[in-house]
Structure formats: structure tokens, C-alpha cells
Amino acid sequence: MIREHQHFFLAGEELPRLVEAVAAHGYRIAAHKLVDGNPVLSRIADAGDMPRGLVDARGPGTYEVRHAGGGAWFGITLGQDSWKRVLLPPDEELLAFSRQGKGFAVEPRSGQPGAPWAFVGMRPCDVAALARLDQVLLGGPYPDASYARRRPGLLVVAVECSAPGGTCFCAAAGAGPGLDDGYDLALNEVEGEGRHFFTVRPGSSRGREIIAGLDLGAASVEQAGLAREAVESARIAMAAKPGIAGLAPVLSAAHDHPHWQEVALRCLACGNCTMVCPTCFCHDLADSETLDGLHASRRRRWSSCFMEEFSYIHGGCIRSSVAARYRQWCSHKLAHWVKQFGVLGCVGCGRCVSFCPVGIDIAEEANAIANNPNLPGSNVGGTK
């Protein structure tokens, strides 16, 4: 009998067997795929579509994919895509309207749910982000219909981290680099010094069923130990990162802190950080119609609190300054989310830092305020 969290051994070259087994259970598989040299989350046919022997080098405002040699399947930690792209598409039609005599007909475009998804290669930070989205989009009396249609049956094949990127701070957010829950299968890839293997442990009945079909042997004590050591080395590598837990009271009271203005001098208000963030869910609605007036469409598109028009209410924008908009985003992630949902809205993936054109680091900026909470204030609200 296969026990939950039991460690199994999978040779590095046998990962395609695991992917095939997942597909054989009726899942559509999403994983990283190289498009113009960049990792993009896409539906894949088999493991042959996944990049090997590559790593991603990340720093503030920088991202680069490099050849690393070897045959590691998951050397790329994170790309610019977060997995929410599959469950909450950036652009989708919600309703179609057509004129019918003197009235009109409304046709929901939700469609029927297809085969469930399997996400192969999710990192612990993204697993934590998925739980955050579930709270927001499935919790409460009004779940998001689009998300709720795609979410059921999702199989999570996650990969623990052994080499965090330069902007990763998941340990500070309590969202990695190891996995405690939220997965169906947890992989840990050990590659180098003539070794290449995975330890695999199931975290659900579906995961155990897939493992049983592969007939894998148990990982040895040494192999399981190497996997644990790799995760611990990743945790140590992030030890110097500034913490973000416990900042909620300070940030909530820092509405007029002058440091918001200092950040605004660098921030371009481009919204990149919100587009790559795995937990941001803001959107707007756009209606369009054909020239003959017979048909119309309502679409939902990702939006950003960094856009001035996003705060448009009753004829004006309530956050017209960049400082006010950055404060809104940072405070929401690290303070207001805690009050509303009981957890941080940030999982420490570091995408916002890497894909910010000027490399602004949310953890560093929040700590700059937390470490100087009593400085005299200055208004950064709706005025310029």
C-alpha cells in the first residue's frame, strides 16, 4: 500500500514515463515550453516539449535563460508566466449579445469544461499562490464562474526548489522552498556529480494512483536525504532576504509615509509587476459591438491597480499619483490581504522584481517603511 508522503525513486531519463502516465489518466498537461528562447506556460503533448539543460538567471530588472549543460528537466525556476494564465485567462469573452426582433438574446460564453488540467513543474511559491486564488475566487457566496469552471480536477505535479533565483524570497513569505501540502505529486530533482534522479512523493489519492501505475521503487535513505539537503540549501541561500511577514500593522498605518514618494520617483507605473504576479486578479470589462448593431460582446481582461483609470470613480481617479498606486499595491499584498484573508498576498516568487524595468523590490521597499515607521508624513493620496 502506498502511503502519502512516501518517497519513491524515478531516474532522470524516466520523467517522460511520469508525464505519459498523467496524460493517460485523462489530463491536459501544461508545462514550460520554449517560445523564441523564453519559457512560456503552454499545453504540451509530451515531455519532449519541455526544455532541458537550461537555467534562468534572475536579478532586479533582469531575466535571462542560459545553457547549463547536463540534462536537468527543471533548471528553469520561473518564467514571466504564472499558472493563473491557464485558470484565469488574460482575455476572454464572457457574454455574446445578438439582436432578436425588438429585443436581444444573451449567450454566456462559458462553454463546457474540458478535460481537467495537470500542471507539471509548479514551484512551491506557485502552489501557495494557487491556494490564495482559491480563497479569493472560489470562497464566499459569489465564486468566479470562469475560474470555477477550470479549477476542478486540477492535478498539481510540483517541484521543490534547490537553486532559487536571485530575486526569490519564498522562504520569507512562508511559501517555500519545500512543499508541505497543496500538491498531488511532489518531485525533487537531483542532478550533478554523475547523478540524475527524482524523488517523488504523493500527496493525494490521485497521486498515489499514478505512482502505483508506474511501479516505482522506494527511494533510498541516501537519495531522500540528498533531496532534503537540496531544499535546505535553497532555504539557506535565501536567509539574507528581508522578511515580509508581520509588516501589516506598520504598512496599514503608513498611508502618508514619505518613502512612497521615493519609490514613485523610480516606478514607471507600467503594471508589469501585476501582470506577472501569480496572485493578482484585478480585471476590467470591455463591451464592443458590430457596426450594424446586430451583435455585441463583453470581454474580461486583466488590468492593474497601477493604471490611473483603474481607480476611476464618479468622474475622477482617486489614486492619481504613482506614489498612491504603488502604496495601494504594496499595502494590499502585505497588509490588507492579511486582514481580509488571514495570509499574505505575496508568495515571494520574485517575478515582480525581475520583470520590473527598474528592479524595484517589494520586500526591500516594505522594510524601508517598517524600519522607519515614525518619519514625518507627506500626502501621497489623490493629489499629484
pTM: 0.93
Over the range 83-109, which residues count as b (16 or more CB within 10 Å of their CB) and which as e?
bbbbbbeeeeeebebeeeeeeeeeeee
Res 232: pLDDT: 96
Q: For residue 317, with 0-12 CB atoms within 10 Å meaning exposed, 13-18 middle and 19 or more buried, which class applies?
A: middle
Contact of 350 with 78, CB cutoff 8 Å: yes
Q: Which three cell numbers stand for residue 189?
A: 530533482
Contact of 145 with 110, CB cutoff 8 Å: yes
Please report, in tens digits, the pLDDT of each residue of the chain (384 residues total).
677 779 999 999 999 999 999 999 999 999 999 999 999 999 999 999 999 999 999 999 999 999 988 899 999 999 999 999 999 999 999 999 999 988 899 988 866 678 899 999 999 999 999 999 999 999 988 999 889 999 999 999 999 999 999 999 999 999 999 999 999 999 999 998 889 999 999 999 999 999 999 999 999 999 999 999 999 999 999 999 999 999 999 999 998 899 999 999 999 999 999 999 999 999 999 999 999 989 999 999 999 999 999 988 888 898 999 999 999 999 999 999 999 999 999 999 999 999 999 999 999 999 999 888 665 444 455 443
Dihedral sign from CA coordinates of 15, 17, 19, 21: negative
Dihedral sign from CA coordinates of 207, 149, 144, 301: positive
